[in-house]
């Protein structure tokens, strides 16, 4: 794998799009929960719920999002799809770990963090490979 062939700008743009999608999904889920599923609580209750639910929303929404974005980015230049997908994950990892360390670990277990990054790495890898494979067929 040659990282010089990676589309660095597309990978960085893809990460920002993925972050926007995951943040929007987390806000949307907490809004649905607070208005439809469990209304009538104090704001602090929903803030605590958001802290607990957001990592799960990020995992559930992030995996297909990462796959689809990496596949989409890779379809333009299939020969560089896998390096671009790995650069995408690298950018995400740097941004997310930075935010994670600044915000603190909260209630997340180390196992959840490892699984979260592993699943998202797998989604990026698979998206990059599928974009490259689409070229061969």
Residues in the chain: 137
Q: What is the pLDDT of residues 51-100, one digit of tens each?
A: 899 999 999 999 999 999 999 999 999 999 999 999 999 999 999 988 87
Rounded Cα distance, 133 and 98, in Å = 33
More confident residue, 101 or 74: 74
CA distance 59 to 83: 23
* Residue 103 pLDDT greater than 80, yes or no: no
Q: Which one is predicted more confidently, 3 or 50?
A: 50
Q: Which residue has the tokens 């929303």?
A: 57
- With a pLDDT cut of 90, the percent of the chain lying above it is 75
Quick one: CA dihedral 89, 94, 100, 105, positive or negative? positive
Q: How many helices (H) and strands (E) does the chain have?
A: 4, 0
Q: Which helix (H) or strand (E) holds 132?
A: helix 110-136
The structural domains of the chain, with segments of one domain joined by +, span: 3-136
Q: According to the model, what pLDDT value does residue 136 have?
A: 53
């Amino acid at each position: 794998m040659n990282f010089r062939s990676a589309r660095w700008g597309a990978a960085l743009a893809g990460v920002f799009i993925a972050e926007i999608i995951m943040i929007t999904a987390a806000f949307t889920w907490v809004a649905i929960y607070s208005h439809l599923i469990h209304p009538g609580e104090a704001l602090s209750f929903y803030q605590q719920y958001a802290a607990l639910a957001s990592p799960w929303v990020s995992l559930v929404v992030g995996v297909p999002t990462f796959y689809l974005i990496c596949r989409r980015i890779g379809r333009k230049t299939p020969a560089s799809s896998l390096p671009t997908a790995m650069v995408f994950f690298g950018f995400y990892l740097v941004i997310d770990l930075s935010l994670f360390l600044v915000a603190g670990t909260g209630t997340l277990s180390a196992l959840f963090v490892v699984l979260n990054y592993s699943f998202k790495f797998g989604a990026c890898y698979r998206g990059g490979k599928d974009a490259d494979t689409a070229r061969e067929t």
